[in-house]
Structure 1
Amino acid sequence: MQNEPLAFRMRPRNLNEVVGQQHIIGETTALYKMIENGHVPSMLLYGEPGIGKTSIAFAIAGSSKLPFYSLNATHAGKKDVEQIVGEARLAGKVILFLDEIHRFNKLQQDTLLPHVENGSIILIGATTENPFHDVNPAIRSRCGEILQLKRLTLDDLVKLLANALKNEDRGLGKHPIEISEEQLKKIALSANGDARKALTLLESIYFASDEVDGVTIVKDHIIEHLAQRIGVYGDKAGTHFYNLLSALQKSVRGSDTNAALYYLAHLLETGDLIAVCRRLLVMAYEDIGLANPEVGAHVFAATESAKRLGLPEARIPLATAVVEMCLSEKSNSAYSALDAAIKAINEGKTGDIPLHLRDGHYAGAKALGHVGYKYPHDTPIGTFGGWVDQQYLPDNLIGQEFYKPVISGEEKKLAAIYDRLKSFKKDI
């Protein structure tokens, strides 16, 4: 067993050994009480790597005493599934832990699902991807619980590390180690909520440290060297990456500069510069919009500069763009107005284009009645430019308003012009 990684050896053997995730598996939860009373439901465990999905599955198996089998959907075949179905027939009921369940193919499902439905196989699926996006509905419908795990807290990780240092059978308890509470906190902080990373880092630190008179002495510089980038997690095509993009946009929209820079930093550490630039450009028009039209040009310049510079220098113009967007006035009126127009069209609110607006640049247009258009530039109105009162919307949409100005920043001026032009229409 000592040849196995520390993170593997320290997996909880029952529910009472689980560290963290108390909102899911704590003693007061319904799931804990069900399992203690001998009932294990099929479930999906959803969350980032290293935060306890596999550990919870093993702990449930240990507490329930039912036969337990583990498969990874990335390489499990139909024969693997059939073998577990056969075991279920013999045992009456088994637990199957299926990691990366979102990769389960239809053939495997067809073999397994009837047995999950009749209860002979209790399915515990684990996924890092949003189960509502990436797990087949047939699987979801047979799992009564869809449980979203959280990253472990600093206190959770310190407790986990302390347990590993004390445990003589499975941890490092047989090896005298000199390590301070502050150093444990540094390791926990570097792991960024990931139990596997925390234990892996602790094990690496142990083997990288010098022994003096039979005691392993942990030095700060060893922790700092091994902890580099250990907290970074993000699959460019995965749910967490899109959650980071979403959090970045919502932080900018909410004018929280510090949160926005935090999510930008995390996104840039994943290395997908193009996706970040695309999202920032969208945000400039979606969330800042007419309140500060110059921001669109500024963000475009920043993202183009970032793409030309590449990482790590790209972070400099992007940081400038994010701070400017956070602190800018905001408006979503323009794209909201367009969405309202699209909605109206999709609801069948359409009509004929007025004849005077139709193309009149060909012989015969006059015979079709495409006449009467008034050229606005021929009628100046103050310092605004040309304007003339004439119908533009189809007859059945006259009076329909899609645009609703937001009184913010530069749009205050545009809103005043919009209202003034409406008043002219009434007067003429």
Structure 2
Amino acid sequence: MKEPLAYRMRPQTLDEVIGQQHLIGKHGVLRRCAEEKTLFSMIFYGAPGMGKTTLAIVLANEVNLPYRIFNAVNGTKKELDALFAEAKMFPGFVLIVDEVHRLNKDKQDLLLPHVENGSITLIGATTANPLHSINPAIRSRCHLFEVRTLSDEDIATAIRRALKSPKGYDGRVTMEADAMDFIARQSCGDVRYALNLTELAVTLAKDQTVTLELLKSIPSVHSQRSFKGDDGHYDLVSAFQKSIRGSDVDAALYYLALLIESGDMDSIERRLLVIAYEDVGLGNPAAVARTVQAIDAAKRIGFPEGRIPLSMAVIDLALSPKSRSAETAIDQAMQAARQRSCPIPDYLKFTPTALQEEDRYDYGMPQLWPNIQYLPDTWKDASFYSPGNQGKYERALAENYQRLKQIPRSTNLRLLKKKLKKS
């Protein structure tokens, strides 16, 4: 059976690895490790198709250490025990663990002592953010290195190598420049995807020439790194919110388009609602209400037409005045509540029993209400709300807030009632 092109073109040395110059360049930490013939336990993290496992294998080969690959998803404890026994016979034994964040507790308990005493050098590979997904016990024993997304030029370099290399097509196949650019763009930095698409195109090519026309005739879907549950997804929604917060409407629409392409309506809905209330808030509350309506409309009509109300909402929010005063206010109030919980004044209780009628809250005297002290004495001078000044609506709120702040508030309702009756 013929091996896939991506498999045949796997690098065997550090010099064959494409990209990752921050790790394997002249002064890169992994280059120095290879030169010193010394490895430490480490975890490589990054998007799929970046070459994490390949880099681990190359490192083991560079330092002439035996290695085995273990998959955390379907590997068994019995397999681990066999690997531990093998490690006893080979000092410096390297265990490469794919999907290391998926190691369950039992496997971790088996692995940790061997990593701790150095009988095994662990090199983990994961698409997840290790700060969030890797067990702290594993993480504290490893160095963390990001395997970065490859550039379009990196992908083009990989394709050119495959076309020329004896392990690839040995110069028998040519590819037009615009066709190579097309594959690089479609790949989104995933070299495995790029080589797989190259292999398919070569199979279909006439006269051993891959053209742009041929590639466009292949009903393929471009590689997309932002999936539900993947760290790329969280990066995407983060960029989406920050673009709206920064009032960059074009960037916000671009990230919305990526979310729509992935069909992730749940994340779009949740993120837009959070943005509306957290970032725009009282700066333009009408836009907040319109966002809720736009989400409802998009869910009712579905994609592709649902993109239109979502686009309107994103444009509206991105270009609206921003105010986070509501979030700041409740956070300060919650901090105060956690710091000290005080009893509610008797006259504010639902059914006060120990108060005479003159000291009770009077539902028939609305003119009395702005003069009453509602906060407990401990917090009577607190100001949790700090008005923003980003939109007409909140400026009006701020003016009213300042006016009300000038009115003295009292806990003596009996005296307040007498004063108001006299006036």
Could you report, residue by residue, the CA deviation over 1:55-78 in whole angstroms, capped at 9, with x for unpaired residues?
A: 211221221121121111110001
**Given the alignment, which residue of 253, 275, 282 partners 2:274?**
282
- Alignment size in residue pairs: 409
**Given the alignment, which residue of 145, 158, 161 partners 2:159?**
161
Q: Evaluate the alpha carbon distance shift between residue 311 and residue 278 of structure 1 in structure 2; reply closer, same or farther with a 3 A threshold.
A: same
Contact 1:47-1:148 at 8 Å conserved across structures: yes
Could you report, residue by residue, the CA deviation over 1:365-417 in whole angstroms, capped at 9, with x for unpaired residues?
A: 454457432559733xxxxxx96321010111111011111111121221121
| Residue 20 of structure 1: aligned partner | 19
Query: How many Å apart are 1:182 and its aligned residue?
Result: 2.5
| Residue 398 of structure 2: aligned partner | 415
| Residue 253 of structure 1: aligned partner | 245
Measure, in 2, the Cα distance between the counterparts of 1:173 and 1:425.
Answer: 88
Amino acid at match of 2:151: T
Contact 1:352-1:395 at 8 Å conserved across structures: no
| Residue 190 of structure 2: aligned partner | 194
Q: Evaluate the alpha carbon distance shift between residue 79 and residue 202 of structure 1 in structure 2; reply closer, same or farther with a 3 A threshold.
A: same
Could you report, residue by residue, the CA deviation over 1:92-118 in whole angstroms, capped at 9, with x for unpaired residues?
A: 221111110111122222222222122
Measure, in 2, the Cα distance between the counterparts of 1:324 and 1:291.
Answer: 12
Confirm or deny that 1:406 pairs with 2:388: yes
Confirm or deny that 1:239 pairs with 2:231: yes
SS in 2 for 1:20: coil
Measure, in 2, the Cα distance between the counterparts of 1:61 and 1:10.
Answer: 18
Amino acid at match of 1:405: P
| Residue 207 of structure 1: aligned partner | 203
Measure, in 2, the Cα distance between the counterparts of 1:369 and 1:41.
Answer: 77
Contact 1:374-1:390 at 8 Å conserved across structures: no
Confirm or deny that 1:151 pairs with 2:149: yes
| Residue 111 of structure 2: aligned partner | 112
Query: How many Å apart are 1:138 and its aligned residue?
Result: 1.6
Contact 2:370-2:407 at 8 Å conserved across structures: no
Measure, in 2, the Cα distance between the counterparts of 1:327 and 1:93.
Answer: 58
TM-score between both structures, scaled by the size of structure 1: 0.91
Could you report, residue by residue, the CA deviation over 1:220-270 in whole angstroms, capped at 9, with x for unpaired residues?
A: 122124374323223312222122112111111111112212221112222
SS in 2 for 1:124: strand
Confirm or deny that 1:230 pairs with 2:228: no
SS in 2 for 1:424: coil
Contact 1:206-1:218 at 8 Å conserved across structures: yes
Query: How many Å apart are 1:9 and its aligned residue?
Result: 1.3
**Given the alignment, which residue of 266, 272, 290 partners 1:298?**
290
Q: Evaluate the alpha carbon distance shift between residue 425 and residue 376 of structure 1 in structure 2; reply closer, same or farther with a 3 A threshold.
A: farther
Alignment of 1:16-55 (within 5 A): 16-55=15-54
Measure, in 2, the Cα distance between the counterparts of 1:269 and 1:233.
Answer: 11
Question: Aligned-pair RMSD on alpha carbons?
Answer: 2.0
**Given the alignment, which residue of 335, 343, 348 partners 1:352?**
343
* Same amino acid, percent of matched pairs: 43
Measure, in 2, the Cα distance between the counterparts of 1:78 and 1:414.
Answer: 64
Confirm or deny that 1:218 pairs with 2:210: yes
Measure, in 1, the Cα distance between the counterparts of 2:229 and 2:60.
Answer: 32
Query: How many Å apart are 1:275 and its aligned residue?
Result: 2.2
Could you report, residue by residue, the CA deviation over 1:149-207 in whole angstroms, capped at 9, with x for unpaired residues?
A: 22101111111111111111x21225x22312222111111101111111111111111
Q: Which runs of 5+ in 1 are unaligned?
A: 380-385
| Residue 323 of structure 1: aligned partner | 315
